[in-house]
């Protein structure tokens, strides 16, 4: 049985789903945000959903992505750059630049997750969430 909590794909497999990196990273990022909110008692009840939405929206992701850009390796910067160029449409609540940054962040998190780099994801996420 495949353990989808600990999946690790090869470079070739990941290249084959490059468009899906942001999709994967979106789920990873949202799970991290939900975990962070619960672990830090930042919100309760209805407030949990509102707090999650506030942290996973494109403008907030773009803002927090700026915190980690200097810490990215060359390879991570390349994944971020490729992810930034992926969006074709932009939601109403974000500028094109914000949406590109958010998509780039999600692609990076998807890429790291599928490579099995959980420790690196935690390191970057922690840096993003520092107040």
**Does 12 qualify as catalytic in the annotation?**
no
C-beta of residue 103 within 8 angstroms of C-beta of residue 87: yes
Alpha-carbon gap, residue 96 to 41, rounded angstroms:
33
Which of the following is catalytic: 3, 11, 12, 26?
26
Burial of 113 (0-12, 13-18, 19+ CB in 10 A): buried
- Residues annotated catalytic, as ranges: 26
């Amino acid at each position: 049985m495949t353990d989808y909590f600990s999946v690790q794909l090869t470079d070739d497999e990941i290249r084959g789903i490059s468009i899906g990196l942001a999709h994967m990273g979106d789920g990873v990022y949202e799970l991290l945000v939900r975990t962070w909110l619960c672990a830090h008692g930042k919100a309760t009840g209805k407030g949990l959903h509102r707090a999650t939405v506030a942290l996973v929206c494109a403008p907030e992701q773009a803002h927090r992505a700026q915190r980690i850009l200097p810490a990215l390796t060359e390879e991570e910067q390349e994944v971020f750059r490729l992810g930034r160029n992926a969006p074709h449409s932009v939601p109403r609540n974000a500028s094109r630049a914000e949406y590109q940054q958010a998509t780039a962040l999600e692609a990076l998190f998807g890429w790291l997750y599928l490579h099995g780099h959980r420790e690196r994801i935690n390191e970057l996420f922690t840096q993003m969430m520092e107040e």
